[in-house]
């Protein structure tokens, strides 16, 4: 009710101001004008609470997001690496599990044939890797922080293959400035800038805390890097596509930052 009253007061004032020296005509003095304006502004502030804010601000927010991305990409270094605190405990079974399908996505070989990870797009030799193939490639294991967009962190040991090694193996083209990580989790995917994908801590992970991934954590394989927020790290991987242009992503198409850098 207060919102409506305040807005009505504001509309009345605007109407009166537009029709000339309203203050003189109707005898509204400065104090009343200020009080009414204050009430109207207060009502607007209340009306704005827990809304997305004025629509007109959207272009400004997009502009800021793009400028932030320019700054973040300038700040980005392959030599900036994540080293979790020595005292940090691994999350273990407390590690959260997120997916967008209704149920935990599980690859069903009876229905879909054996699982493969496809490396394709702007590459000389497209690859089709089984889990055994992946495990035979140079193995990297790091204890790493996971930074979730929600604000929590969790530590886990991630074992897998560097995306940079896969890019080299497939002969990724120089024109591939972006990489799309696609999944069998109801179309979930997120595309990355090539620099972040080539970071030494960006891995195609098939084991967590020394065990092959379980379904909740993204089995058979997922991408993981501490330089990207959790939502950029596609689980239930099916395809790594090297692309000349960015290809959006599940959450970045809905309003989260496409860059999602840490």
Partner 1 sequence: MKRHHVVVRITHWVNVLALTIMVASGLRIFNAYPAFARKGESFCCYPFAGRPIPSWLTFGGWLAGARNWHFAMMWLLVVNGIVYLGFIYLHGEWRDLVPRRSVFRDAGEMMKFYLTIRKDHPRQGKHNALQRMAYFAMPLVGIVAVVTGVAIWKPVELAPLTHLLGGYVWARYWHFWAMFVLVVLAAVHIFMVFTVDPYSIPAMVTGQYRERWSPEARNARPFVHLAPAREEEDSHAQR
Q: Does 33 bind partner 1 (CB under 8 A)?
A: no
Q: Does 88 bind partner 1 (CB under 8 A)?
A: yes
User: Measured between alpha carbons, how far is 165 from 145 in angstroms, rounded to an integer?
Assistant: 22
What is the SS3 string spanning 117-163?
Answer: EEEEECECCCEEECHHHHHHCCCEEEEEEEECCCCCEEEEEEEEEEH
**176, 121 contact by CB (below 8 A):** yes
Nearer to partner 1, 72 or 165 (CB): 72
Q: Does 66 bind partner 1 (CB under 8 A)?
A: no
Q: Pick from 150, 186, 187, 211 the residue near partner 1 by CB under 8 A.
A: 150
Residues 6+ apart with CB under 8 A from 219: 106, 107, 212, 213, 236
Q: Does 83 bind partner 1 (CB under 8 A)?
A: yes
Q: Does 61 bind partner 1 (CB under 8 A)?
A: yes
What is the number of alpha carbons within 13 Å of residue 35 lying toward its C-beta? 5
Nearer to partner 1, 130 or 214 (CB): 214
User: Measured between alpha carbons, how far is 187 from 36 in angstroms, rounded to an integer?
Assistant: 52
Cβ 257 to partner 1 shortest distance, Å: 7
- Segment interacting with partner 1, rule: CB under 8 A, options 15-23, 62-70, 116-124, 232-240: 62-70
- Segment interacting with partner 1, rule: CB under 8 A, options 2-10, 45-53, 132-140, 242-250: 45-53
Residues 6+ apart with CB under 8 A from 59: none
Cβ 167 to partner 1 shortest distance, Å: 21
Query: Which positions from 234 through 253 interact with partner 1, judged by CB under 8 A?
Result: 251
Q: Pick from 8, 14, 48, 175 the residue near partner 1 by CB under 8 A.
A: 48
* Peptide bond before residue 137 is cis, with ω within 30 degrees of 0: no
Cβ 115 to partner 1 shortest distance, Å: 28
Residues 6+ apart with CB under 8 A from 12: 36
Cβ 152 to partner 1 shortest distance, Å: 5
Nearer to partner 1, 107 or 256 (CB): 256
Token pair recorded at residue 137: 């490639």
What is the gyration radius of the CA atoms in the chain, in angstroms?
26
**121, 107 contact by CB (below 8 A):** no
Q: Does 94 bind partner 1 (CB under 8 A)?
A: yes
Nearer to partner 1, 35 or 136 (CB): 35
Q: Does 209 bind partner 1 (CB under 8 A)?
A: no
Q: Does 53 bind partner 1 (CB under 8 A)?
A: yes
**195, 206 contact by CB (below 8 A):** no
Residues that bind partner 1 (CB under 8 A): 45, 48-53, 60-61, 63-65, 68, 72, 75-77, 80-83, 85, 88-96, 145, 147-155, 226-227, 251, 254-257, 261-262
């Amino acid at each position: 009710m207060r919102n409506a009253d305040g807005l009505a007061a504001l509309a009345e004032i605007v109407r009166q101001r537009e029709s000339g020296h309203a203050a003189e005509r109707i005898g509204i003095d400065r104090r009343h004008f200020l009080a009414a304006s204050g009430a109207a502004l207060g009502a607007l502030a209340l009306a704005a609470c827990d809304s997305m804010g004025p629509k007109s601000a959207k272009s400004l927010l997009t502009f800021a997001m793009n400028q932030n991305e320019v700054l973040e990409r300038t700040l980005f270094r392959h030599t900036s690496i994540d080293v979790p605190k020595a005292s940090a405990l691994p999350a273990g079974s407390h590690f959260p599990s997120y997916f967008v399908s209704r149920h935990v996505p599980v690859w069903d070989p009876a229905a879909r044939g054996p699982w493969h990870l496809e490396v394709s797009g702007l590459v000389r030799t497209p690859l089709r890797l089984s889990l055994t193939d992946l495990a035979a490639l140079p193995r990297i294991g790091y204890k790493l922080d996971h930074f979730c967009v929600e604000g929590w962190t969790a530590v886990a040991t991630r074992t897998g293959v560097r995306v940079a090694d896969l890019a080299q193996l497939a002969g990724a083209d120089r024109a591939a400035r972006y990489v799309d990580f696609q999944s069998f989790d109801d179309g979930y995917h997120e595309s990355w800038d090539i620099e972040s994908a080539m970071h030494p801590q960006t891995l195609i992970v098939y084991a967590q805390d020394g065990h092959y991934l379980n379904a909740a954590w993204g089995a058979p394989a997922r991408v993981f890097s501490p330089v990207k927020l959790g939502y950029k790290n596609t689980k239930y991987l099916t395809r790594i596509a090297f692309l000349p242009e960015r290809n959006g992503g599940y959450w970045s198409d809905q309003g989260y930052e496409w860059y999602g850098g840490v």
